[in-house]
């Protein structure tokens, strides 16, 4: 089986290393020897053990011996055009590119089906954690009802540092950058965009209709403070950045936001750069998947597992995918109900809001402020409550709570 790699960065390099290191292992597990015939990258790699580099996409597209291409370039330009042309030419494509799958997955999967080839993207969500294949294969006997996940290692590392080491957001971010867990421009991670693309892919696959990541309400963790962490601790909770999607009768709710989780929630114990994804099905109940959500070798191992899967079934189209979503399928997220944690400045003794629990932290630096935990409210109901509270107190912040 001859393959090509497009993009020789962190993931592409890992794919090369895994295949080069273990040719016999992969032979026994795939039934064929897997050989890298071409690597596309505009850069030069004079010290690489590989000698099959090219800067010309046509060297891959027009090579009839190459049956599988690993697209690990990232971004949509030129990955979208390249992938489309490869599928149209009857080549299988595997991808780690969450942006491309979230944006153009519907069309690319459709082309793959028509051309009787496969388009797989296990590496696009959860790094090396097997999550895409379980959704379309292992859990296929279930009507899936919800997906809830810690999908971004960078933000989980930052929050873990805030919770366990009492580091401020800025210090934790700086530490993450120093360790190579966060980019110089951390926006995509800390603002939740990365999580958003991943939950869009999971929701599309789990519930069978396309969910557009650009329409998902997305909040990051930049406003989370150490005070929030302390109030959460007070009620036995931790704060995690969650991607969430759930199936309702008429459509789906999807959202990315920081949330309070009770400490006995299976996702609450997932710390540092680890990812965890919880899936709910009608037959299985809750299942959870946990592991390293990023990194060269974990992510590359997911890419290679897709290559092996296709090698085992190279003459057929591996069925997975979703159909176009219809108007109104993504439900108004304002209608989704949560309990809310609300932090305010003022005297807790004057706070009287029906059904709400008052939380205080008995430390000098928390004098003159407190928090409220509301009952279950829709977004609109919470707006009303917030306005009522704002009449007597200054609102310092709020976070949703995920029950279970």
Residue linked to tokens 């949560």:
338
Instruction: Name, in order, each residue with C-beta under 8 angstroms of 237's C-beta and a sequence gap of 6 or more.
Output: 260, 261, 262, 263, 268, 401
Residues β-bridged to residue 120: 94
Residues that bind a copy of itself (rule: CB under 8 A) add up to a total of: 55
Q: Verify whether residue 198 is a known catalytic residue.
A: yes
Q: Does 225 bind a copy of itself (CB under 8 A)?
A: no
Tally of CA atoms within 13 A in the half-sphere of 158 that contains its CB: 31
Q: Does 290 bind a copy of itself (CB under 8 A)?
A: yes
Q: Does 12 bind a copy of itself (CB under 8 A)?
A: no
Which CB, 24 or 44, lies closer to a copy of itself? 24
Which CB, 178 or 264, lies closer to a copy of itself? 264
Residues 91, 103, 198, 240: which is the catalytic one? 198
Q: Does 202 bind a copy of itself (CB under 8 A)?
A: no
172 SS3 class = helix
Q: Does 291 bind a copy of itself (CB under 8 A)?
A: yes
Note whether 252 and 246 are within 8 A (CB): yes
What's the sign of the alpha-carbon dihedral 184, 188, 194, 197? negative
Q: Does 26 bind a copy of itself (CB under 8 A)?
A: yes
Strand 66-71 to strand 2-6: parallel, antiparallel, or no bridges (unpaired)?
parallel
| Minimum separation from the CB atom of position 262 to a copy of itself (A) | 12
Strand 252-262 to strand 394-402: parallel, antiparallel, or no bridges (unpaired)?
parallel
Note whether 357 and 346 are within 8 A (CB): no
Q: Does 329 bind a copy of itself (CB under 8 A)?
A: no
Which of the ranges 65-73, 133-141, 167-175, 187-195 carries the binding residues for a copy of itself, by CB under 8 A?
A: 133-141
Q: What is the largest CA-CA distance in the chain?
A: 76
Which of the ranges 20-28, 90-98, 181-189, 191-199 carries the binding residues for a copy of itself, by CB under 8 A?
A: 20-28
Note whether 243 and 195 are within 8 A (CB): yes
Residues that bind a copy of itself (CB under 8 A): 14, 18, 22, 25-26, 28-31, 122, 128-130, 133-134, 136-143, 208, 264, 266, 269, 281-292, 297-298, 300-305, 307-309, 312-313, 316, 318-319
Which residues are catalytically annotated?
Answer: 198
């Amino acid at each position: 089986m001859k393959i090509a790699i497009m993009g020789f960065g962190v993931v592409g390099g890992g794919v090369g290393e895994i295949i080069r290191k273990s040719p016999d292992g992969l032979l026994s597990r795939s039934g064929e020897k897997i050989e890298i015939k071409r690597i596309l990258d505009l850069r030069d790699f004079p010290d690489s053990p590989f000698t099959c580099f090219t800067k010309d996409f046509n060297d891959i597209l027009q090579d009839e011996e190459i049956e599988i291409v690993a697209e690990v370039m990232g971004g949509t330009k030129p990955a979208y055009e390249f992938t489309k042309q490869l599928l149209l030419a009857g080549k299988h494509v595997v991808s780690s590119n969450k942006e491309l799958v979230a944006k153009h997955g519907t069309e690319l999967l459709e082309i793959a089906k028509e051309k009787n080839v496969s388009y797989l993207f296990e590496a696009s969500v959860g790094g090396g954690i097997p999550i895409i294949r379980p959704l379309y294969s292992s859990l296929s006997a279930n009507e899936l009802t919800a997906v809830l996940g810690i999908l971004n290692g960078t933000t989980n590392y930052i929050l873990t540092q805030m919770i366990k080491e009492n580091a401020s957001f800025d210090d934790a971010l700086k530490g993450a950058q120093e360790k190579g867990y966060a980019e110089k421009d951390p926006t995509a991670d800390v603002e939740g965009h990365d999580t958003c693309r991943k939950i869009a892919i999971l929701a599309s696959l789990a519930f069978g209709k396309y969910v557009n990541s650009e329409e998902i309400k997305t909040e990051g963790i930049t406003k989370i403070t150490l005070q929030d962490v302390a109030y959460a601790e007070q009620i036995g909770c931790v704060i995690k950045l969650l991607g969430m999607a759930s199936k309702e009768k008429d459509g789906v709710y999807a959202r990315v936001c920081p949330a309070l989780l009770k400490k006995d929630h299976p996702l609450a114990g997932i710390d540092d750069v680890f990812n965890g994804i919880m899936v709910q099905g009608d037959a299985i109940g809750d299942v959870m998947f946990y592991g390293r959500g990023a990194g060269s070798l974990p992510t590359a191992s997911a890419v290679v597992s897709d290559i092996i899967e296709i090698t085992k079934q190279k003459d057929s189209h591996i069925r997975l995918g979703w159909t176009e979503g219809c108007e109104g399928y993504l439900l108004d997220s304002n209608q989704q109900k949560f309990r809310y944690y609300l932090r305010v400045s003022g005297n807790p003794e004057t706070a009287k809001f029906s059904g709400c629990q008052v939380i205080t932290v008995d430390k000098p630096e928390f004098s003159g402020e407190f928090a409220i935990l509301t009952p279950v409210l829709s977004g609109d109901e919470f707006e009303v409550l917030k306005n009522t509270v704002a009449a007597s107190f200054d609102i310092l912040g709020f976070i949703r709570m995920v029950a279970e």
